[in-house]
Structure 1
């Protein structure tokens, strides 16, 4: 009798001794399944949103441009009735806000939802495992590569870049994702090859890659302390694993966190976006004063393309009709080259939206890097043409 009692006791001892919340040997850790579900939901949600807002429209646009070889339609400035050099007006601001919103509202919705999903559905340890590399260059390269499928304009990707930084992604990776969306957009590169000289696409791709990767590394080196490889690995290792992170709770909890994050982000970003875009529209005649007289501006035209082009906000591929119009007006290859980088890369609204997460120091240094990239493109395009 005692032997059987001892046998039963010894058989159940390991289970009684197992720490609470752990899984038996060979079983998945408790929380790994919710983490996998959250990551899968994120991927499906992001793919559906990007298919709706980006991939399908751009695929159809490629087919149209392949048949016509010309860019149909005018720039968002012309659509809003903005005249180069026109005095500021509330009417211009309202018209510009409506025109720009009509062009990008789908991508705005996608950006807000993806930003909320990044912060609530993807396990933080997994996110950092992808984007926290052993060097700033590695993080910037991964961030730039991950930006290419989303193909958003700088304003629409700002909430996602901010979400990445708030989740602990290194500065180099977050900045590279932010800049890479507009500059490395594969659809825009195809558009340029179809409707513009090949040199435009070559300069955009080459200088864009340098700004995204090299510029992000430079910004990170100037703003954040450097970590040796062992320290960088320790940062990722210190993050809670699947099952310990608050993001790995039950599906009902994840849904609630996602809804709260989406509402919180939208309540901040949408009014901020509307106010800053409206203000840019009010002053857009001054912010982008180049018109038919661009050829007579000389060096001032290049300066305007570098500085004011960085502040102006445009939808995805909006730089193409503007650059083509200025080239037809005789603006010259230097101005066109500068605009191919500065117009899409950043804008005043996107900088305002992302500054809280990245800090204003990082944001302004990123703007300086974009201006430098525009200057490089201004020198390269005339040489290639």
Structure 2
């Protein structure tokens, strides 16, 4: 029995009109939520970037000349600044992730995003573009997608499409960092979303496939719903909150405390060298920032003497993935897949840094 036959055995008949109504409700909720936290605020932010060539101060240094030394105070200050910046988007991400599981039938999801074909990867990547969320705010949606039988490649493409190809960030970057940084980000974003994501799906083992995720969450069969919609939605929302929020808060706190070790002050001869590129590519892959936070971070570090090579590595790696986001999706994607994605993005960051060292 092949995988699609097995999946079909898990999907009972459903009421088409009910699911169409559910899909409409989900779309309306997504539009309202994204307008509130992304579309409306980013319009004003774009206008500000055009006139001032800035989108704020670096969240890492907080506008100071150097990053705070490791301490409880540094951890607390970063955590407060970070969560104040992202909490609205995170709430929207949680709500949409839970609504996916009760309003969208798993059979529909499997047919569009559950296949291992390249088409599913492209659809997922393109559908992510209006979201424009950071890697951690997108993580609950990745969990919800996997519970709905999304393939590994589609989940990864949606995850990275929100960050690497964020249209608003590309606009901000153009007016703040210039067209060369923007073109570099666009090229590597396309490689990550439509290339790396598909490759991750191809190398994923059996435990990464939709059937295994469904079996682990068998009580969440929304194609044969039992109980009232509000109760099922609250159960799904509570499950996502419990499995993502605690590890999210703890990991952000730890990274905030030790950010001075991850981002040393560099300058002079090695401020644009290969060693600096590797260090900042690793740091950018692990660290967590709000949406568009990489732009003022790069701007601030370059003002401190950082070269264009390490700056390019940060511009590629910082927004795409982070240690907290990987921990949040650990039950939806295997560690094998997450390690592959993390190392691959780190390598792409190093390559972009080498390009940036000579051409930016």
TM-score (norm 2): 0.87
Using the alignment, how far apart are the partners of 1:367 and 1:293 within structure 2? 29
Using the alignment, how far apart are the partners of 1:118 and 1:338 within structure 2? 34
- Ranges of 4+ aligned residues in structure 1 off by more than 6 Å: 249-252
* Conserved 8 A contact 1:172-1:217: yes
Q: How far is 1:294 from its partner? A: 8.3
Using the alignment, how far apart are the partners of 1:34 and 1:293 within structure 2? 64
Using the alignment, how far apart are the partners of 1:164 and 1:131 within structure 2? 9
Specify the SS of the correspondent of 1:313: coil
CA offsets 1:162-190 (integer angstroms, 9 cap, x no match): 11112211100001111111101000001
Q: How does 1:158-237 map to 2 (within 5 A)?
A: 158-224=139-205
Q: How far is 1:274 from its partner? A: 0.9
Partner residue, 1:90: 72
CA offsets 1:273-312 (integer angstroms, 9 cap, x no match): 1111001111111122235568547332111111111111
Partner residue, 1:325: 300
Partner residue, 2:273: 298
* Conserved 8 A contact 2:124-2:157: yes
Q: Find the partner of 2:47 among 24, 48, 63.
A: 63
Q: How does 1:241-280 map to 2 (within 5 A)?
A: 246-247=221-222, 253-280=228-255
Q: How does 1:1-385 map to 2 (within 5 A)?
A: 31-66=15-50, 68-79=51-62, 83-84=66-67, 86-133=68-115, 135=117, 137-224=118-205, 246-247=221-222, 253-291=228-266, 295-296=270-271, 298-385=273-360
Using the alignment, how far apart are the partners of 1:113 and 1:258 within structure 2? 9
Using the alignment, how far apart are the partners of 1:291 and 1:112 within structure 2? 38
Structure 2 gap segments, 5+ residues each: 1-12, 215-219
Specify the SS of the correspondent of 2:53: coil
Using the alignment, how far apart are the partners of 1:127 and 1:40 within structure 2? 15
Specify the SS of the correspondent of 1:78: coil
| Cα RMSD (Å) | 2.4
The worse-fitting range, judged by mean Cα deviation, of 272-281 and 87-96 is 87-96
Specify the SS of the correspondent of 1:40: helix
Using the alignment, how far apart are the partners of 2:305 and 2:73 within structure 1? 30
Q: How far is 1:343 from its partner? A: 0.6
Structure 1 gap segments, 5+ residues each: 1-28, 226-234, 240-244
* Conserved 8 A contact 1:81-1:92: no
Specify the SS of the correspondent of 1:77: coil
Specify the SS of the correspondent of 2:228: helix
Using the alignment, how far apart are the partners of 1:134 and 1:363 within structure 2? 18
Count of aligned positions: 338
Cα distance, 1:35–1:101 mapped onto 2, change above 3 Å: same
TM-score (norm 1): 0.82
